[in-house]
Each structure stands twice: as C-alpha cells, then as structure tokens.
Structure 1
Amino acid sequence: MFLKSILLAVTVSLASAQIPRPEHSQVGRACGFKIAPCPFDMKCVPNNPYCSELNRCPGHCEFKNQYQSCGGFTPRPHNCGDNSECQDDPRLPPNCGLACDVPGICIPKETHFCGGFIGLSCPEGLFCYDALDGCDPLHGGADCGGICL
C-alpha cells in the first residue's frame, strides 16, 4: 500500500510538471548557446545585434512571419490596409484578444485555408494556425480548419 502511494505521488507530480504545450506561447523564450531550438514557426534572434553566431550568445524566439500590429488599447492604435483586417493573433494562446483591448494583427483578406478533414497544407514559408472560429479538434471538432500565416 505504501509503495502504491509513493508511485501515485510521483505520477501526479510528473503529470503536473510544466510541459510545453501548443496553447502556451513560446514568443520571447530563451534560445542560443546551443540550448533548445525555437518551435518550427519561429526563429532565434540574437539579443545583441552584433552577435552573428547564436552558438556563442543568447537570443530569444520570434515568429518567422511578421504581421503589422493593430487595434488594442494603445495610445495610437494602428489600422490595417485595404487588403487586410484586424483580428486576434491565432499564433498566440487563447485569450480574450481584441475584446479585452489586446492588440491583434493585420491578417490578409485572401488567406489560404489549411488542415480540416482533407488536411490541406500551406504554401512554402507559411504555417497553419487554428482559425479561432470556435472549432476545437481536441473537443469534438473533427473537421477544424485553419489559416496559413
């Protein structure tokens, strides 16, 4: 009985450990010095602009594809151009977004769709993100599509 209690305690503590999950943002996470690389849709940017060798200096993770910030509770909110619209950033973990005055990004109106039942892929250089449409593949949504950013 004592051994079962110990095994249960170890199992619970391992299960509750901080494990990187897709819903946690990796933006700003440390990289460089040959430590864990950034996720596939991010790149390691040196903290010092004079560093050209990331194996010898620290850096942080940033998205490979940059989009203009818009909306939000800022002194001078930016508006999007005619070919894009301001939406919550689907690359970040779920939050209340624009509804809570968190800045969004300008998403092109003509985006490619990805994922879904037939598993559409994105053009080279773009990555598939949840479309923030309420469909959740982890909770009953078998045909959830995304957008390529």
Structure 2
Amino acid sequence: MLFQTMLLALITSLALAQSEVGRPCGFKMAPCPFDMKCVPDNAYCPHPSRCPGHCEFKNKYDQCGGFTPRPHVCRRGSRCQDDPRLPPNCGMACDAPGICIPENAPFCGGFMGLACPKGLYCYDALDDCDPNNGGADCGGICL
C-alpha cells in the first residue's frame, strides 16, 4: 500500500510538471518543475532571476513524425513515439509530432523502483500498464 501511495504521488507530480511546458518563469515567479529549466525570453538578459522566461525540458530530443511537409526521421538507434513527458493526448495519431527516443533508454520505476541515471528523469512508458488500475509495478523510461 505504501508503494502504491508513493507511486501515485510520483505520477501526480509528473503529470503536474508535464503540463507546464512554456509556463512563464523568471523574476520571483514559481520555479520550473524539476525536469525543466527557465529559459530567458530575451537574449540580452541571460539571467532568468532578473528577466522573464519560460519553462522548457532540460533534455532535448529530436521531433519526428507529425503532419508536416517533411517529417523528420529518427537516426539509427532511436524510434519515433509520442512524447511521454507531455500530458496524455492522442499524439501522433492526431498528426502531432513525436520525439526520437533512444532504443536503449534505461528502464525505471516498476516493482523494484529503479532510479534513472543522473541527468535523466523517469516518465510513464505509455504502455497499457495503468498504476491507477491495478498496475502497482508499472515501469517507465528514463529521458
């Protein structure tokens, strides 16, 4: 029961963080979530503590697929899939771009509670496992 509660708290905090892409930051506003950074809106003011900015993910991945004239194709060793860092939506099924995820992305969470390597964050693997519906040992991928 404790494990399920901890997992639910983690997933809830990730869901809140994921919906904050592009949220204003800087000055004395609330800081960006742990997997994001505050990027200044003005190149002449590089310090987010003194000027306005917006939240972006710390780790960048190439976009792929989607409804564009020339959709990007992932490099060898990566696969194109919906971005697990964003809130659930229809993603590439609705012609939104996905991201190129390394095929060797480390596994995290699950029954053993595996942590990600430093600099990577654990996200839901976008599979059929639902931690809110009997899937207490759902795992994720490190991005």
Q: What is the TM-score when the length of structure 2 is the normalising length?
A: 0.87
Deviation string, structure 1 residues 80-134 (Cα, Å, up to 9, x no partner): 0111010000000001111111100000011100000110000000000000002
The reply on whether 1:61 has 2:52 as its aligned counterpart is no
Deviation string, structure 1 residues 28-79 (Cα, Å, up to 9, x no partner): 0000011100000000000001112212210000000000000000121100
Q: Using the alignment, how far apart are the partners of 1:62 and 1:119 within structure 2?
A: 26
RMSD: 1.4
Give runs of aligned pairs for residues 1-149 of structure 1, distance below 5 A.
22=15, 25-149=19-143
Q: Using the alignment, how far apart are the partners of 1:72 and 1:21 within structure 2?
A: 24
Q: Using the alignment, how far apart are the partners of 1:99 and 1:70 within structure 2?
A: 13
% identical equivalent positions: 73
AA aligned to 2:15 is P
Q: Using the alignment, how far apart are the partners of 2:97 and 2:33 within structure 1?
A: 23
Please list every run of 5 or more consecutive structure 2 residues that lacks an aligned counterpart in the other structure: 1-12
Please list every run of 5 or more consecutive structure 1 residues that lacks an aligned counterpart in the other structure: 1-19
Q: What is the TM-score when the length of structure 1 is the normalising length?
A: 0.83
Q: Using the alignment, how far apart are the partners of 1:108 and 1:139 within structure 2?
A: 28
Which has the higher Rg, Structure 1 or Structure 2?
A: 1
Please identify runs of 4+ aligned residues in structure 1 that moved more than 6 A: none
Aligned pair in 2 of structure 1 residues 105, 21: CA closer, same or farther (>3 Å)?
closer
Equivalent residue, structure 2, for 1:8 = none
**Structure with larger RCO (C-alpha < 8 A, sep 6+):** 2
